Amino acid sequence: MDRLPDIFVSIANYRDSETPHTVLDLLAQARWPDHVQVGVMSQVVPGVDDDCLAPSLPQVRELRVADVQVPHAAL
């Protein structure tokens, strides 16, 4: 059997505490989670929005989280 193609899912996250749940649910519902790659761009306040970061999971081939500081005016 030929190798199944991978699928890439891109998620934009602005201080959203549902992000970890979204990633976990996406993988839980995938028929072949080993063929799912997830990229997450998180814009968070370090030390404040830690619950908004995507989980680092072994079944995710590549997970990139880029922390971008939010301006203080947005707090």
Q: Where are the domains of the chain?
A: 7-70
Quick one: pLDDT band at residue 71, thresholds 50, 70, 90? low
Separation CA 59–CA 4 (nearest Å)? 16
Tens digits of residue pLDDT in 12-54: 888 899 999 999 999 999 999 888 988 888 888 778 888 988 8
Q: Which of 15, 30, 24 is nearest to 63 (CA)?
A: 24
If you compute the radius of gyration of the chain from its CA atoms, what whole number of angstroms results? Answer: 14
pLDDT at position 17, please? 93
Specify whether the CB–CB gap between 59 and 33 falls below 8 A: yes
Separation CA 32–CA 24 (nearest Å)? 14
